[in-house]
A and B are shown apart, each in its own frame.
Chain A
Amino acid sequence: MYIIKNSLKNLVRNKGRNFIILFVAFLTLTSVTLSFAIWKISDSSIQRYKDSFFMDATIDYDWEKLEKDFPPTEIVNEDGSVTQESSFELEELTLKDYQKFSHSNCLKSTQFVISAQFASENLTPVPNNLHKNQEIVSIDGMTLEELMKFFHVNTREEVVKELGGETELKKVLDTKDDTAGSLVGYTDISYVEEFVNKEKNLTQGHFPEKDGECIVSSKYAEHNKLKIGDTIEVSGPSKSDTKIIPLKITGIYEASLSETMAEAWGEFYGSVYTTYDTVADSDFHWISPIRVVFQLKDPDSAERFEKELYQKGMSEYRFLSYANEKSEYQKNTEPLKNISHIAEIFTLCAVVIGSAMILLISLLNVRERKYEVGVLRAMGMKKSAVAVEFVFETLVMMVVGFVLSILASTLLSQPIADVLIENLNGASTNLSPAAILLCGLTALGLSVISGLCSVFTVMRHEPMKILSERN
């Protein structure tokens, strides 16, 4: 116990020497803590920017490559005019394709908007006002013969051509003749263009918040005598779809459609909006992806993700198209990366220079300490007790240095970060536990360096030799 008391007394007795050590330790620890804090603030600012930077990508046709590899053929019509007809046929990507593509480490998330027609025993489509005096003929559910008659053609190939592909024919032949609307499933309403463009606006209730909820148009609700809270029952469009899905109405929207839009079949039937999972898990046939947006983790992942898509079977006539520029990201993150890098180097320099200074001061102190060692040992104090006394003194100084540097760093980190990093994006400048830990470890390291000098002196020299040298 007297060893500890003597250590504390020594700290006061040798205040000049100890003040220099404490000052160097304080400067070192504050530099280390501050530079580490700046380093981490820069990194977290980059990360926050990365998180807020949406690198949206969609899959598009590579028209240039298509036209180069499949030049359009010119057809001379009966009236002598010439039309160009594409000579390629590329299968549409299915929901399964997109789902397969979305399983990637390069992506932060994938936003889906998908659609499927639905049938219902109790619901009927809203008659289109523009065609109220005309008979509406739906081709859904027609037989091949009926389709040939409808299109005034004689062969199956001609029907395929009229419909735009073999898949379309299969779809029409398989579709029930009592489809009552289209079910649109989305992951995020901000990716449903008609709501973003304000062509449709929610006027009552709320958007679906969980699976099994939906919103319908006011016209559809009026026509089918529906209100918020009612549950509608829908089934898939295919003749083989038997599963019935109940959907609770949580909201009503108004559609302000242009005449052209109103003519579209989908709008004619009326769209019922629900969650993505409700539609994706419905087992309905003929679910079509309307819009699929891949959100990349960061711009650096773009190249890797595109490569991955080709490996997963995406056609070479498709490519990833980006909604925003990579250069914008680089412009905003490059200065922060530089600050982070400088702070990282500064942290290491502060540790090395601080340690070297403490080592130097400790070595210079050895002469003074050597005399103390000689006196104490000559009085009969054990080597270990002398070493403990000296190491304890160092530890106390480092603890004081640690506390002071944490206080100083807390006060200084905000203004320094403000000067260095103009746009902190709301990043916290509070000292992180990691910065405090690093400061503590550095203090411990400095204690070890300084302590080892003292211990080495204690262990190495015999008291008589020290005292005779001194005298």
Chain B
Amino acid sequence: MKLLKLKSVSYIYKGTTKPVLNNINMEFKTEKLYAITGKSGVGKTTLLSLISGLDTATEGSVIYRNEDIATLNRDRYRASNIGVVFQSYNLLTNATALDNVVLSMNISGNKDKTSEKKQMALEVLNRVGIDSEKAKRKVLKLSGGEQQRVAIARAIVHNPDIIIADEPTGNLDSSTERSIMKIFERLAHEDKKCVIIVTHSATAAEYADEVFELNHEKTHKC
């Protein structure tokens, strides 16, 4: 099912004249894992910002379920419809892993009891490989791979349609990379999500159902 469509999207950073993204057209469906690859500076992360509603296209539109996200309440869109795994995780470092995940549920408007939310957060953390003991640790006291898993748990806990991840395996060893990519694969194929990852890693790209290569001239499916 078509979920997201990029229609003639261009983006120019303020103070510059050359577009970082130029007339991009893409379509994303549920139950699929997409990989966006390309050299540094071609606008992969910018593209994810536009898809996640953290920024708006200079030209063109990002269509989510037949609606331009520019016309949607983008706070609500981010809180409920999309989960973002940032390259540098962007977790609240002084808070515990559990608190980070529960906070995401709260922001999405989950009205369950706190104890139920905690239970659910623990389950999600367990699914991505964080046990209960580690879940109660402050994020700063977790390894890079564990922080990555917490970031994934935070991105999926509110059950969004789209999960996007920016270089999710960039800082990880190959074994951890594989286990993380398996999580994304499962999310797409078992949980029927639309998963979009930006990556340089050929190993990570191998897990994708579809790969888009981005360059300054054009974007093409591999």
A residues neighboring B (CB under 8 Å): 2, 6, 9-10, 13-14, 372, 374-383, 462-464, 467, 470-471
When distances are taken between beta carbons in the complex, the residues of chain A under 8 Å from B203 are none
B79 touches A379 (CB 8 A): yes
Q: Which residue of A lies closest to B108 (CB)?
A: A380
What residues of chain A lie closer than 8 Å to B104, measured between beta carbons? 379
Q: Which 8 A-B pairs have the closest CB atoms?
A: A380-B79, A380-B78, A2-B106, A13-B94, A464-B54, A471-B88, A381-B107, A375-B90
A199 to B80, CA, bound (A): 100
Listed by A's residue number, 24 A-B pairs whose Cβ atoms lie within 8 Å are A2-B103, A6-B106, A9-B95, A9-B99, A10-B94, A13-B92, A13-B95, A376-B107, A378-B84, A378-B86, A379-B107, A379-B154, A380-B77, A380-B78, A380-B108, A381-B75, A382-B75, A383-B75, A462-B54, A463-B54, A464-B55, A467-B90, A470-B88, A471-B87
Complex contacts, A381 vs chain B, CB 8 Å: 75, 79, 107
A14 to B92 Cα, complex, angstroms: 11
Please determine whether A372 and B75 come into contact, CB atoms closer than 8 angstroms. no
Given the complex of chains A and B, what is the CA–CA distance between A380 and B79 in angstroms? Answer: 4
Identify A378's interface contact among B90, B94, B95, B106, CB under 8 A: B90
Is there contact, CB below 8 Å, between A375 and B92?
Answer: yes
CA distance A376 to B88 in the complex (A): 15
In the assembled complex, the Cα of A296 lies from the Cα of B74 at a distance in Å of 75
- Across the interface, which residues of A come within 8 angstroms of B90, CB to CB? 374-375, 378, 467, 471
Q: When chains A and B are docked, how far (Å) is the Cα of A10 from the Cα of B92?
A: 10
B86 touches A14 (CB 8 A): no
Is B219 in contact with chain A by the CB < 8 A criterion?
A: no
Q: Are B92 and A380 in contact (CB under 8 A)?
A: no
Residues of A within 8 A of B80 (CB): 380
**Chain A residues near B154 (CB, 8 Å)?**
379
A6 lies within 8 A of B94 (CB): no
A10 to B55, CA, bound (A): 28
Compute how far the CA of A9 lies from the CA of B95 in the bound complex, rounded to whole angstroms: 8
Contact A379 B88 (CB under 8 A): no
Question: With A380-B78, A380-B80, A462-B54 given, can you name 11 additional A-B contacts, CB distance below 8 Å?
Answer: A6-B106, A13-B92, A376-B107, A377-B75, A378-B78, A378-B86, A379-B107, A463-B54, A464-B54, A467-B90, A471-B90
Smallest beta-carbon distance A462→chain B, Å: 8
Bound: A377/B84 CA distance, A: 12
Knowing A464-B55, A467-B86 are in contact, say whether A375-B91 is a contact too (CB < 8 A).
yes
Q: Identify the interface centre among A374, A377, A380, A464: most chain B CB within 10 Å of its CB.
A: A380
For A382, the chain B residues whose CB sits under 8 A away are 75
Nearest-Cβ distance from residue B108 to partner chain A, whole angstroms: 7
Complex Cα gap A378–B52 (Å): 9
Minimum Cβ distance to chain A for residue B116 (Å) = 14
CA distance A467 to B90 in the complex (A): 8
Q: How far is the CA of A331 from the CA of B82 in the complex (A)?
A: 79
Answer whether residue B76 sits at the interface, using C-beta atoms and an 8 A cutoff. Answer: yes
**Minimum distance in angstroms from A434 CB to a CB of chain B:** 40
How many A-B pairs with Cβ below 8 Å? Answer: 56
**Chain B residues near A13 (CB-CB < 8 A):** 92, 94-95
Contact of B75 among A6, A375, A380, A467 (CB under 8 A): A380
Return chain B residues, CB-CB under 8 Å to A375.
90-92
Does B49 lie at the interface of the complex (its beta carbon under 8 Å from any beta carbon of A)? yes
Tell me the smallest distance from the CB of B63 to a CB of chain A, in Å: 19
Which residues of A lie under 8 Å from residue B95 when comparing CB positions? 9, 13
B75 contacts A464, CB within 8 Å? Answer: no
Chain A residues near B78: list those with CB within 8 A. Answer: 378-380
What is the distance, in angstroms, from A374's C-beta to the closest C-beta of chain B?
7
**Please, which residue of chain A has its CB at the minimum distance from the CB of B117?**
A2
A379–B153 Cα distance when bound, in Å, is 13
B76 / chain A contacts, CB cutoff of 8 Å: 380
Nearest CB in chain B: distance from A463 CB, A: 6
B107 neighbours in A (Cβ, 8 Å): 376, 379-381
Residues of B contacting A376 in the complex (Cβ-Cβ under 8 angstroms): 107
Nearest A-chain residue to B94, judged by Cβ? A13
Q: Chain A residue with minimal CB distance to B81?
A: A380
Chain A residues whose C-beta falls within 8 Å of the C-beta of B49 in the assembled complex: 464
Within B95-110, the residues touching A (CB, 8 Å) are 95, 99, 103-104, 106-108
Contacts of A2 in B (CB 8 A): 103, 106
Give the chain B neighbours of A14 by CB distance below 8 A.
Answer: 94
Q: Would you give the shortest CB distance from A469 to chain B, in whole angstroms? A: 12
Tell me if A372 and B77 are in contact (CB < 8 A). Answer: no
Whole-angstrom distance from the CB of B68 to the nearest CB of chain A? 18
Min Cβ gap B72→A in Å is 12
- The distance in angstroms between the C-alpha atoms of A470 and B76, with both chains bound, is 24
CA distance A471 to B166 in the complex (A): 13
Q: Across the interface, do A379 and B103 meet the contact criterion of CB distance under 8 Å? A: yes
Q: Collect the chain A residues with CB atoms within 8 Å of residue B87's CB.
A: 471
Complex formed: what's the CA distance from A190 to B92 in Å?
Answer: 80
Contact of A372 among B52, B88, B92, B108 (CB under 8 A): B92
Quick check: B54 and A378 within 8 Å, CB to CB?
Answer: yes
List of A residues within 8 angstroms of B79 by Cβ: 379-381
Instruction: Kindly state the separation between the CA atoms of A289 and B79 in the bound complex, as whole angstroms.
Output: 92
Interface mask (B43-81 → A, CB under 8 Å = 1, otherwise 0): 000000100101100000000000000000001111110
A471 neighbours in B (Cβ, 8 Å): 86-88, 90
**Cα–Cα, bound, A376→B75 (Å):** 10
- Could you tell me the distance between the alpha carbons of A467 and B78 in the complex, rounded to whole angstroms? 15
The minimal Cβ–Cβ distance linking A13 to chain B, given in whole angstroms, is 4
Residue of B nearest to A381 (CB): B107
Contact call B88/A6, Cβ cutoff below 8 A: no
A377 to B108 Cα, complex, angstroms: 12
Q: How far is the CA of A464 from the CA of B53 in the complex (A)?
A: 10
Q: Which of B49, B87, B92 has the most CB of A within 10 A?
A: B92
A369 to chain B, nearest CB (A): 12
Report how far A470 CA is from B93 CA in the complex, Å. 13
Q: How far is the CA of A9 from the CA of B49 in the complex (A)?
A: 29
Give per-residue flags for B139-170: 1 if the beta carbon is below 8 A from chain A beta carbons, else 0.
00000000000000010000000000000000
A376 to B87, CA, bound (A): 16
Distance in angstroms from B62 CB to nearest chain A CB is 14
Residue of B nearest to A6 (CB): B103
Query: A201 CA to B99 CA in the complex, in Å?
Result: 88
